[in-house]
Structure 1
Amino acid sequence: MSNKNYLFFIVFFIFCQQLFSQQKSQNTFPLTELLEILEKHSNYKFSYADDDLKNIEVPEPPNMLSVSETITFLEGKTGFKFTLIGGNQIIVDAKIAIKANSQKLIVEELDEIILANVIAKGVSKMKDGSYKINFDKIGIIPGLIENDAFQTIQALPGVESVNEKVSNINIRGGTNDQNLILWDGIRIYQAGHFFGLISAINPHQNHTVKLFKNGTPPSYGNSVSSVIELSSDKKINQDFTAELGLTFLSTDAFIDTPLDQKSSIQISARTSINNAFITPTYLQYYDRAFQNTELTANPDKMLNTKEKFYFSDVSFRWLYKLSEQDVLRLNYFSINNELKFTAEEFSLNSIQRKVSELSQSSLGMGAYYHRNWSENLATSLQLYHSNYNLNSTNSSINANTYLEQENILYENSLKITSNWALNNLFELNAGYQFITTNTKDTETETTITNEEAIKNGINANNVFSNLRYQSKDRKTVLNTGLRLNYINTFHSLLAEPRLSFNQQFFKHFSIEILGEIKNQSISQVINFQNDFLGIENRKWQLANQQTLPVTKSKQVSLGINYQKNNWLASIESYLKKVEGISSQTQGFQNQYEYAQLIGDYKILGVDLLINKKFKNFDARLSYSFTENNYYFKDLPASTIPNNFEIANSFTFASSYSYKNFKASGGLIWRSGKPFTPISANGITNNQFDYELMNSGNLKNYMRVDVSVSQEFKIQKKLIAYAGLSIWNLLDRKNIINSYYRLNNNNQVYLVNQKALGLTPNFVFRLKF
């Protein structure tokens, strides 16, 4: 198509906008929509920070302009810089904002995209090696009907959950407690509701999520695996918006409203619906969460059973523009899961009444202040408090027994960061962070008192610096940095160098080198005891340099990316070693379940991703290969397969979109994780006679998911959204974990934990 014909599409688009929309100006229309039109009818791709262009309106271009003439016209009208790189990618740099756009809050370095729409629309791979998901633009993911951040990132290669829980995300072989999870800069220590099956952070409060698997910037610390950074919208909303939603699991409300032209607030709340009515989806999640526990086992022995379970969360964000240079943000969230179970059990010729309660909650508060001193210098201050509380009680009234456990964590942090654009090529980011983390762990046969608690605390001072270089043609980007972590408690100084390098070549190719050294002083100990309903019990504990040392990791990766003519491909190989792990954090359910061993694990892996986009349809294929082994010096075996090793993982998915209709479907196949079988003897010397640790594997895992959604306009300012998803469409009986136990007759039996079966979910939302 000739460049001269672009005007036809632009004029036709403007005509439709003027004919059907009374809310837009007769002489202007959104810049982002114009760029989408230019992309659709040319080979050019536009890369830009979504927040920068979100509210930009541009005049109608003059007649008969070519693409280059249209871009020149837009540069003059917006003050933005359009830079052509790689033959067909145009970077829109919004550093120089036009006066009419007074809503720009802070000056940020543009996040440049290597690959756009890698697994769905709105999911991009950035030049710093991270993945960024924009939930305002994201397409539909198979099996999902809402923008669950922790479920969405599992569609990326190298991100798994061996037991389908969002609270147990395994990124390149790491355990979930090795991930640093942040919401607007506040660390989150409880990621899931329903004991880990769905995200605990309201999906409608998340504007973007960024995932670093390697090459993490030095401003992030205290994690040896990935960084998952959730962010709310950074724009002050000038119009009142609200949403009400209902799914087969929960109901929620979301409000985003201006207080004045300089301030706006967001409030979201969600609660489970099982106290009002029970859905098939809830029953599937209930059976999955509580299988092999007192709630679902031995129904013949239990009389007059009653259970009360619910989850809820509330989050708040206030944004205030103090001046053209100053911005203040306040955040708050509260997460709760409550379970109470009562039953009468016939035992020893009498009826015993048992009461068990389990409460899990988190609270976070944060304040963020940003100041632009000039076009080249900006400073920010971040304060936060994060609290986690797990409390369990178990009592048998007739037997006059009582047991209570408590695990409390609270953390405070102060962080100061400065960004200084030294010139057109170099930018310096430097700062300081102080973190104090305290835990309290208690187990008692009476009511808990402060004297019985085991308390620990760690204070850490951190300084960090990162130098960013970007060549004039934007084909070379280098980030090199260092984080120095001084742990006061142990008088230990730890150096953490970081590196990310991206070089474009042959127009459509780029090479990527990432590396990092990181440390972590907190872990989550896993206990499978049966005292509290048999539910997996996880407790946060601080390093003590004995049974729980400071964990250290090293990682390096090499990748090549390609994008041309709606094809994109990425392949990345990596080597990662983590030292100082405790066996108590790895979830062993074999001969070493109660052992206290210190060791390492090393993982070698390859991640592959291929995507092809057509007009309204796209398809993607991803594959991951890993070899992941433990090394415990106190064990006879030199190498042991890691509990979280998924040797082969394959995903194929496709999606279709037309106007406001979206549909997607996908297949997930992966090899079974390792487990430890027992010998034919079963029991020897009153103990399980296990074979070599992790010498067996579960059966392969396979799942087919589908999703559809439709948005439609009811009135001028009332929009409805409906969606339907089916998880595990074929109802395959996947086994996600196996271990051995003894029954009441001292007979050995194999416990198989099943994944979710066929699970439909439905959502209906009203947007005001």
Structure 2
Amino acid sequence: MNNYKSFFFLILIWSFCFGIQAQTEPKKAPLKTVLEQIANTHSIQFNYSSSLIKNIYVFPISNKLSLGNKLKKLEAQTNFIFTLLDSQIVGISSPVIICGYLKDSTTKAPLVGATIKTDNNYTVTDNHGFFDLKTRSNSEKVNIRFIGYHTIDKLASELSSTDCKNLFLSEHQELISNITVNGYLVKGIDKTINGNTIIDFSKFTLLPGLIESDVLQTVQALPGIQSVDETVSNITIRGGSHDQNLILWDGIKMYQTGHFFGLISSFNPKITQTAYVINNGTDASYSNGVSGTIHMKTAATLQTDFTGSLSLNFINANIFADTPLGKKSSLQVAARRSIDDWIKTPTYHNYFKRVTQSTEIENNDKNVTNSNQEFNFYDTSLRWLYTPTNKDAIRINFILIDNNLTFDETAVVNNSTETKQSSLSQQSIAGGINYHRKWNPKFSTTLQVYETDYNLQAINANILDNQRFLQENIVSETGVKLKGNYTKNSWKYNGGYHFVETQITNRNDVDNPRFVRLYSNVIREHAVFGQTQYQNSNSNITIKPGLRINYIEKFNKILVEPRLSIHKKVNDVLSIEVLGEFKHQNVSQVINFQNDFLGIEKRRWQLSDNDSIPVLKSKQASIGFTYKKKQWLVDATGYYKTIDGITTQSQSFTTKYEFSKNKGSYDAFGIDFLLRKNFKNLNTWLSYSFIQNTYFFDNLVEYQFPSNFDITHAITVGSTYSSKLFNISLGLNYTSGKPTSQPVSGNEIIDNEINYESANNSRLNNYLRADASALYKKQLTDDMSVNIGVSVWNLFNTKNSINNYYRVENNSANRYSRYSLGSTPNFLLKLNF
């Protein structure tokens, strides 16, 4: 009974409390009544249509609130827009809902994370590029902005929610002209008005022999660019040596370009989105690189959703992640490492044999046994993008590259077996910060600061002589560049200041007998540059002159370098371009002896001394035409280039003049030609390059003779089929044999030295290689896909000689040759999410 009493007592209390609550809860009043009260209290008037507020009820608003807070309370209850028209009148209107799908104008891909903003509200696009937003009226201005694209403004009336339209943004590239040829070679390789080639790996399909989008392997598919020994660390652009190329990664100069000592690029393909290849007509803001420029760039757009990938091939494993950090920041991280610690694949064995052939690692002294050869590499890349406001963008980059090779040398010394380890390491570490500020629609500035460091070290253990030989090449460079861009009507202007300090140290250290040679030099250079670009209203003509003035502190030297680019569109199918430039550089790579650094990476960086190693200076002019009609493209360019200040040590002599130290110049005259035909899903092309590359050395026996990089003829034929599921690519590469010198037949040795014929009067056998690649793409879920690929480099296992040298042994000239990669398969498994 007591339990029942307690139960009824609780019900009575609950009912009483509910009754109090019901009695104290305020009742809604007509909106018109509430507006009249507010108007009387604040001495204002409301402007509205009587039908708009008919039958609208709201809770009364406390008189203690300010007018602004009262209006906010009413907006929250009614969904109307209350606008203070002046100090005495408040307008009331219904909101206007806008929507749309934002896409890239070229690829039609959705733009994720773009900002849609009005004066009082904002939103961002979703994974499909879709947005919807509440605006105050049809006349309200809507600002649409996405980093790396041109900003557009629309009226709300143009973006009605009844018809969510597709809106297209065009990519914004500072002072990089419009694309004139899309799919120059294959999809993702385009050509600009200024004669530059842009490789966009987000659109890239496939090239023969490549399993992934290796940046420095891809550029070799372009006319006029070859590698004389199949490596990415020996790329020649229109006859120049590799050290004459300016290699940039997001504006940071890189002194190391390859893994596996040159067989694959050291720049992670996942984090490198685009590459700009410049043969001539270089932008005035660039310095160094008298032969050519390859500028790799990471993505400049914020990521609003996490994306990533995991991949594995027969050489390395790769992981990539792009992570949003709020709405204004995103972080990209990529890491790659060789897998030979876990498994040594046939691909690895082929690469290792190719790198170490004819070196001490492969063939040591007959009394010394090599064992436990181990090689590994890794790289880590990071890019952080932060946009604190719509006008500011900050980018921070970091990259670490590492190659390590070790092997044991064993010999019997004094009746005792001894083992010592020799090693070779190559490492780069670099970082930079870039701050871009858009002051107004016409004017912007960019400030960049970077530091790049490179270290090549070899320890050669000579067991028989109880000797340790240490060699080291260290580069440390700091750069600062401030650049301003101004646009007015048909004109673009840019100018700025560039400072570079480069220190290079070389060290030779022998412990028995003790010998140390350490020499270090520093060069500081200041430069100012200016450039303008004019393009008429119908884009028929584009003229881009520029001037760079450099001052080298150490030599008290001023170098004036004009640059020029002219593009004329004759009609809808034919255009003509004229390019010219003066450039210089203060660093070069030299070879002291073929067995330096164990004979693998024997080139070391060295600064100019303005005497025995001059400042390199180049002049280049070219004229070309482009014909495109329907799916046909014909592109041809003729050029003349002269470079003064080269040394024999920088030109990779391996036969005659291998040990000479002289300075000179070379002239290169050539033609680059491309014929391409596109079908629905098929790209086919034929490229041809002709060059006549000639040395001039005043103090050598032969004053004039062919360059070591005189690859007279180079022909590439290729075809790529691409569809939603498959990419398949086949290609054939042919080049003339590399020039070389041979001993005089019947009189090979004089005074225990090799007696050579005229310099470079012979050639190695012509080079021929066929490649194939195939890639299968499968969408597993909405957010996940898989790529499975196979490739074969040198499909028919052709034996190509790429270099040779001679040594005096037993009073005869013994020839040593190095050969290209044999037939080398590769396999790729990649998961994208």
Contact 2:467–2:512, Cα closer than 8 Å, also in 1: no
Q: Which residue in 2 is equivalent to 1:173?
A: 239
Is 1:96 equivalent to 2:96 in the alignment? no
Contact 2:200–2:274, Cα closer than 8 Å, also in 1: yes
Q: Which residue in 2 is equivalent to 1:563?
A: 628
Greater Cα offset, 323-332 or 291-300: 291-300
Amino acid at match of 2:542: V
Q: Which residue in 2 is equivalent to 1:47?
A: none
Q: CA deviation at 1:533?
A: 3.0
User: Within 2, Cα distance between the matches of 1:461 and 1:449?
Assistant: 40
Shift in alpha-carbon separation, 1:111–1:525, aligned structure 2, 3 A? same
Q: Which residue in 2 is equivalent to 1:670?
A: 735
Is 1:415 equivalent to 2:481 in the alignment? yes
Is 1:767 equivalent to 2:832 in the alignment? yes
Deviations 1:91-150 (A, max 9, x none): x99453669999999774563112111111010110011000100001110000111110
Q: CA deviation at 1:637?
A: 2.2
Contact 1:386–1:412, Cα closer than 8 Å, also in 2: yes
Shift in alpha-carbon separation, 1:450–1:98, aligned structure 2, 3 A? farther
Q: How does 1:306-455 map to 2 (within 5 A)?
A: 306-345=372-411, 351=417, 353-397=419-463, 399-421=465-487, 423-446=488-511, 453-455=518-520
Q: Which residue in 2 is equivalent to 1:530?
A: 595
Greater Cα offset, 673-682 or 379-388: 673-682
- Counterpart of 2:354 (choices 276, 281, 288) is 288
What SS class does the counterpart of residue 215 from structure 1 fall into? Answer: coil
User: Within 1, Cα distance between the matches of 2:217 and 2:513?
Assistant: 37
Deviations 1:494-548 (A, max 9, x none): 0010000100012111000000000111111124443643324111110001211
- Counterpart of 2:683 (choices 612, 615, 618) is 618
What SS class does the counterpart of residue 351 from structure 2 fall into? Answer: helix
- Counterpart of 2:585 (choices 487, 495, 520) is 520
Deviations 1:382-413 (A, max 9, x none): 00000001111122356321211111110001
Q: Which residue in 1 is equivalent to 2:77?
A: none
Contact 1:308–1:341, Cα closer than 8 Å, also in 2: yes
Q: Which residue in 2 is equivalent to 1:550?
A: 615
Shift in alpha-carbon separation, 1:104–1:670, aligned structure 2, 3 A? closer
User: Within 2, Cα distance between the matches of 1:734 and 1:364?
Assistant: 36
- Counterpart of 1:644 (choices 709, 716, 724) is 709
Deviations 1:561-582 (A, max 9, x none): 0111111110000000000101
Is 1:483 equivalent to 2:548 in the alignment? yes
User: Within 2, Cα distance between the matches of 1:584 and 1:199?
Assistant: 25
What SS class does the counterpart of residue 420 from structure 1 fall into? Answer: strand
User: Within 2, Cα distance between the matches of 1:243 and 1:34?
Assistant: 25
Q: Which residue in 1 is equivalent to 2:28?
A: none
Q: Which residue in 2 is equivalent to 1:87?
A: none
Q: CA deviation at 1:295?
A: 2.2
Q: Which residue in 2 is equivalent to 1:15?
A: none
User: Within 2, Cα distance between the matches of 1:582 and 1:741?
Assistant: 23
Q: Which residue in 2 is equivalent to 1:660?
A: 725
Contact 1:528–1:535, Cα closer than 8 Å, also in 2: no
Deviations 1:171-230 (A, max 9, x none): 001111111111111110000010111101111111100000000001000221111000
Q: CA deviation at 1:488?
A: 0.4
Q: Which residue in 2 is equivalent to 1:73?
A: none
Shift in alpha-carbon separation, 1:702–1:245, aligned structure 2, 3 A? same
Is 1:256 equivalent to 2:322 in the alignment? yes
Q: CA deviation at 1:490?
A: 0.3
Contact 1:105–1:327, Cα closer than 8 Å, also in 2: no
- Counterpart of 2:569 (choices 504, 509, 516) is 504
Greater Cα offset, 395-404 or 457-466: 395-404
User: Within 1, Cα distance between the matches of 2:102 and 2:491?
Assistant: 32
Q: CA deviation at 1:731?
A: 0.5
Q: How does 1:146-295 map to 2 (within 5 A)?
A: 146-295=212-361
Q: CA deviation at 1:33?
A: 8.2
Contact 2:303–2:323, Cα closer than 8 Å, also in 1: yes
User: Within 1, Cα distance between the matches of 2:531 and 2:597?
Assistant: 47
Q: CA deviation at 1:590?
A: 2.0
Contact 2:422–2:459, Cα closer than 8 Å, also in 1: yes
Contact 1:182–1:188, Cα closer than 8 Å, also in 2: yes
Amino acid at match of 1:261: K
Shift in alpha-carbon separation, 1:346–1:103, aligned structure 2, 3 A? farther
- Counterpart of 2:558 (choices 493, 496, 502) is 493
Q: Which residue in 2 is equivalent to 1:130?
A: 196
Shift in alpha-carbon separation, 1:133–1:514, aligned structure 2, 3 A? same
Contact 1:93–1:110, Cα closer than 8 Å, also in 2: no
Greater Cα offset, 392-401 or 674-683: 392-401
User: Within 1, Cα distance between the matches of 2:395 and 2:149?
Assistant: 25
User: Within 1, Cα distance between the matches of 2:331 and 2:512?
Assistant: 41
What SS class does the counterpart of residue 645 from structure 2 fall into? Answer: strand
Is 1:726 equivalent to 2:792 in the alignment? yes
Shift in alpha-carbon separation, 1:104–1:160, aligned structure 2, 3 A? closer
Q: CA deviation at 1:54?
A: 12
Amino acid at match of 1:602: D
Amino acid at match of 1:232: T
Greater Cα offset, 675-684 or 256-265: 675-684
User: Within 1, Cα distance between the matches of 2:614 and 2:637?
Assistant: 31
Shift in alpha-carbon separation, 1:119–1:396, aligned structure 2, 3 A? same
Deviations 1:20-77 (A, max 9, x none): xxxxxxx96564489769xxxxxxxxxxxxxxx99894899xxxxxxxxxxxxxxx99
Contact 1:394–1:531, Cα closer than 8 Å, also in 2: no
Moved over 4 A (4+): 27-30, 32-37, 53-60, 76-80, 97-107, 298-302, 346-352, 447-452
Contact 2:143–2:151, Cα closer than 8 Å, also in 1: no
Contact 2:457–2:470, Cα closer than 8 Å, also in 1: yes
User: Within 2, Cα distance between the matches of 1:449 and 1:298?
Assistant: 23
What SS class does the counterpart of residue 533 from structure 1 fall into? Answer: helix
Contact 2:387–2:394, Cα closer than 8 Å, also in 1: yes
Is 1:698 equivalent to 2:764 in the alignment? yes
User: Within 1, Cα distance between the matches of 2:347 and 2:126?
Assistant: 37
User: Within 2, Cα distance between the matches of 1:56 and 1:720?
Assistant: 21
Amino acid at match of 1:758: S
Deviations 1:315-367 (A, max 9, x none): 10000001110010100001001111112135897755343111110010100
Structure exhibiting the larger radius of gyration computed from Cα positions: 2
Amino acid at match of 2:489: N
Shift in alpha-carbon separation, 1:266–1:93, aligned structure 2, 3 A? closer
Q: How does 1:540-619 map to 2 (within 5 A)?
A: 540-619=605-684
Contact 2:257–2:266, Cα closer than 8 Å, also in 1: yes
Shift in alpha-carbon separation, 1:752–1:441, aligned structure 2, 3 A? same
Shift in alpha-carbon separation, 1:183–1:652, aligned structure 2, 3 A? same
Is 1:474 equivalent to 2:530 in the alignment? no
User: Within 2, Cα distance between the matches of 1:642 and 1:361?
Assistant: 31
User: Within 2, Cα distance between the matches of 1:506 and 1:133?
Assistant: 26
Contact 1:654–1:665, Cα closer than 8 Å, also in 2: yes
Q: Which residue in 1 is equivalent to 2:50?
A: none
Contact 1:520–1:552, Cα closer than 8 Å, also in 2: yes
Percent of residue pairs bearing the same amino acid type:
40
Q: Which ranges of structure 2 fall in alignment gaps of 5 or more residues?
A: 1-98, 110-124, 133-140, 160-166
Contact 2:424–2:598, Cα closer than 8 Å, also in 1: no
What SS class does the counterpart of residue 243 from structure 2 fall into? Answer: helix
| Higher relative contact order, structure no. (Cα contacts within 8 Å, ≥ 6 residues apart) | 1
Report how many residues are paired.
700
Q: Which residue in 1 is equivalent to 2:805?
A: 739
TM-score computed with the length of structure 2 as normaliser: 0.80
Contact 2:150–2:171, Cα closer than 8 Å, also in 1: no
